[in-house]
A and B are shown apart, each in its own frame.
Chain A
């Protein structure tokens, strides 16, 4: 396998592993826990480094996962005191953990290869060269094993607990009443998330993990309301962003991780604008249609009440309508034109009056 194939595959697997979890984090309104965990693992990594006496994948991952669980527990404990809301608890805990990690690194490991740039950017570019050895055999790039394992693990987790995750995400109260413990599942999900973060962290760095977990899932959420479609869609969007992001990074000679995240951002932006169900464009169009519908209804209702109060057939001029409804002339003109086009109004000797269709519509309004 060529180095670029390894990078590409690592990116795709990493994006899929992360975005599989994103759906549930978004639905549980815990997106920012990803941010907290991805930063808070730093002191855990340092502790793992100290314990193992060097860079060791398993010990480092265990330390990081320990730090992540500590963070989750502390955030939950702070929130439960009732003194701080969830966001503030997160914002107190993870900077403290990150600060502790930074102090440890600068004080004890200034020269060691645990450099801070890699923490923020990751080093997916070197994926090919970091290889996994077992008993002296070269088993191929380590990142592929790690990311592949994460995808398999996360898929298994979702398949095993899909029903429980669905129930606790949408109705924690019901889940508790039925005997599922939302708390146990919360901590299980957090544990899976921390392993994923630790694994992905080496490839794309702390903050970009957040993008892979959240942004693809948020994009899918804009496009569908079905849970299965959302999970599958976010994995597909993640994979697509990884491929197009790698291409972008090569084209403009920039960071692969940064480019992948930029592409997830592009996907999100497109969905935000053009999603048929909840995009900004379709919502703006809906708004405009509603406004037009409503102004026309208002106009014919007004004409209806004029007729009942005894000026049948004579019609109303634009000036009269404008004065009665307090509309500017342009709005009267456009609404009248629309009413005639829709067959609700007809020309009268002076201005317009209701057509038979329009009168039926007004009667319909009066009945409801």
Chain B
């Protein structure tokens, strides 16, 4: 019960848990679309591509305010994605190659800028590299408010364009034949994903963001075949992973929050893959054994060749 008490009354834990939960909900919902569109690793690329944006934002403004840095991150991530989508459309390079190219080149440029800042300004960029590994424990109430506003906007847009995004996820060619601006919706959905990623940078960091985008959707997908069930479920899974990870990391000494969130999420994904009644591997094995007993075994005992 002390956990519950701390969740409500402990300032740090409340902010960390709330922030992580918001991140989980937003990236869960938006990541579900990315996963359905087989663009799961786009989140990974976006997160890495954001680094030079953070550096440039800091160089230009000299400010370490969250909103400024995240704006830079968002712009760099957006540029990287547009480059990726355009190149995949116009050249023979495949999507996974371009994911790797954008991810690593943007990140390399970011590292170069970051080290230049370090050498120029007597290591005064301390606020910047926390985006690499995330620092959920440093979330303050203002950050949580920012997350809540950004998340509310993103989810509102998803609600407004629910029908369009659904068709885009399952049959973009048909959407195009209806005369819908498919490319516009594509850009819009990707831009929303950037919001989720940018929030995640501060909480779980660049590397672990891939799982925040893919995990909740991958888990929710096993429980249902309906999008309007899957999206909220992914939000719940993501949010739950956020809270559980935050609580565990506070309970034991020296457990970093971001990785604990990801490990909680991985546990949810594995449990869903194994146990979900519809698509889980264990129920399927049981069903298969049932079929075997019903169909094959009787025919064997009758002596049929098949």
Q: Which residues of A contact B (CB under 8 A)?
A: 26, 29-32, 34-35, 39, 78, 81, 83-85, 87-88, 90-92, 94-96, 98-100, 102-103, 106-107, 110, 116-117, 120-121, 205, 207-208, 210-211, 213-215, 218, 221-222, 249, 252-255, 257-262, 264-265, 268, 272, 278, 280, 283
Contacts and interface: CB of A to CB of B under 8 A. Distances in A.
B44 A96 contact: no
Contact of A34 (B98, B100, B114): B100
Interface string B241-271: 0000000000000111011101100100100
Interface stretch (B102-110, B142-150, B159-167, B295-303): B102-110
Contacts of B40: 85, 87-88, 90-91
Contacts, number: 209
A26 B97 contact: yes
B222 A83 contact: yes
A92 B260 contact: no
Nearest to A265: B105
Contacts of A106: 254-256
Contact of A258 (B38, B111, B209, B211): B111
Interface stretch (B87-95, B171-179, B181-189, B286-294): B87-95
B50 interface: no
A258 B105 CA distance: 9
A277 to B, nearest CB: 9
Interface stretch (B3-11, B212-220, B225-233): B212-220
B284 to A, nearest CB: 9
A83 B44 CA distance: 20
Contacts of A265: 101, 105-106, 108-109
Contacts of B168: none
B13 interface: no
Given A26-B94, A95-B211, A208 B111 contact: yes
Contact of A210 (B38, B103, B218, B260): B103
B218 A35 contact: no
B214 A261 contact: no
Contact of A211 (B105, B210, B222): B105
Contacts of B269: 92
B90 A214 contact: no
Contacts of A120: 111, 132
Contacts of A253: 116, 119-120
A208 B91 contact: no
Given A106-B254, A215-B104, A254-B112, A99 B91 contact: no
A87 B108 contact: no
Given A95-B262, A103-B263, 16 more contacts: A32-B96, A35-B41, A91-B44, A91-B211, A92-B218, A95-B209, A99-B258, A100-B259, A100-B263, A102-B259, A214-B100, A218-B100, A258-B109, A258-B115, A260-B108, A272-B87
A206 to B, nearest CB: 8
Contacts of A207: 48, 103-104, 107-108, 111
Given A87-B40, A103-B256, A31 B211 contact: no
B140 interface: no
Contact of B105 (A83, A87, A103, A268): A268
A88 B87 CA distance: 22
Contacts of B48: 207
A254 B218 CA distance: 40
A98 B207 contact: yes
Contacts of B215: 91-92
Given A83-B279, A278-B91, A99 B210 contact: no
Question: Which of B35, B218, B259, B273 gathers the greatest number of chain A CB atoms within 10 Å?
Answer: B259
Given A35-B44, A90-B41, A214-B97, A254 B108 contact: no
Sort A-B residue pairs by CB-CB distance and give the 6 closest, nearest first.
Answer: A261-B108, A258-B112, A211-B104, A265-B105, A95-B211, A258-B111
B112 to A, nearest CB: 3
A214 B256 CA distance: 31
A211 to B, nearest CB: 3
Given A83-B221, A103-B256, A91 B210 contact: yes
B100 A103 contact: no
Nearest to B210: A91
Contacts of A98: 207-208, 259, 262
25 contacts: A31-B94, A32-B99, A32-B100, A35-B41, A87-B38, A87-B96, A90-B210, A91-B215, A92-B211, A95-B210, A96-B211, A99-B258, A102-B133, A103-B259, A207-B104, A207-B111, A208-B104, A210-B100, A211-B105, A213-B100, A218-B100, A258-B114, A261-B107, A264-B105, A264-B108
A92 B214 contact: yes
Query: Which interface residue of A31, A81, A100 has the most chain B CB atoms within 10 A?
Result: A31
A261 B266 CA distance: 31
B79 interface: no
